[in-house]
Structure 1
């Protein structure tokens, strides 16, 4: 399980959408944060992917590449994950 604070809703959505806890950790550490209606949307951009690859290795990123279109919605004040989603 992720070491980060997820709401019950986020935990359910993470499981339903088959997004591994490791990806949530990566998003929170390397994702780009964009304001989104009272919250913050966190997603991977090119810079974040490069930083992630430098940290964990190209091979690991390549093996997990199908999960790099995942995103989080995070409470702006508490940094608690509100939901986990796929970007379309």
Structure 2
């Protein structure tokens, strides 16, 4: 049976704020939809990993004006240089992708 979400408690996003059903949430630099906030929490993808993908990942067309950001080998090497030895702790986030439409983060997920 599918669950409906009336609220989304995102503890790692901006100091444990509970987001009521709203269409958008304005973060420090990114605009998140309610859907993307809930999916990032459900899929255990923290905001810093989303920022890394958007800043260093490769953009490709996802159709209908949407862009998909993910890491390829070249972009992951840039992240390795940035993080240095700490990159081992964040290796698991190498397989995430972010879908953006018009500057708004629509969803985040893991590549399988």
Q: TM-score, normalised by structure 1?
A: 0.89
Look at both structures and tell me which one has the larger radius of gyration over its CA atoms: 2
Higher strand share: 2
Q: Which residue of 2 aligns with 1:8?
A: 34
Secondary structure in 1 matching 2:31: coil
What's the CA shift for 1:21?
Answer: 0.9
What's the CA shift for 1:60?
Answer: 2.1
Higher helix share: 1
Q: In 2, Cα distance between the equivalents of 1:60 and 1:33?
A: 25
Q: Which runs of 4+ in 1 moved over 4 A?
A: none
Q: Which residue of 1 aligns with 2:79?
A: 52
Secondary structure in 1 matching 2:52: helix
- Corresponding position: 1:41 with 2:68: yes
Gaps of 5+ in 1: none
Q: TM-score, normalised by structure 2?
A: 0.71
What's the CA shift for 1:5?
Answer: 1.2
